[in-house]
Amino acid sequence: VYSKTGQWPLIYASTSVLPLVKKTVPQAPIWEANYSNGMLRDSPFLQFTDKPYDRDVFNGTMQQLRAYAGYPQ
């Protein structure tokens, strides 16, 4: 993806495979699925439950989320 777009893809991964993901694509941001231990400091997103539906949070402020998504400030 990076070689075609110049952007690293957002990688969705469970906590158990994070070491492999970070080793394979260390530059890519991570959307972590972690239902028990909370958010890692360097993960921009966290899915913290999937019952009764997915619940996710962004690790930052609304202004940081808008900047991350490419919205004008």
pTM of structure: 0.76
Residue-wise pLDDT tens for the chain (73 aa)?
A: 999 999 999 999 998 998 999 999 999 999 999 888 777 667 899 999 999 999 999 999 999 999 988 898 7
CA distance readout (Å), 60 to 2, 20, 43, 46: 24, 25, 10, 11
Residue 24 phi, psi dihedral angles, 5° rounding: -75, -45
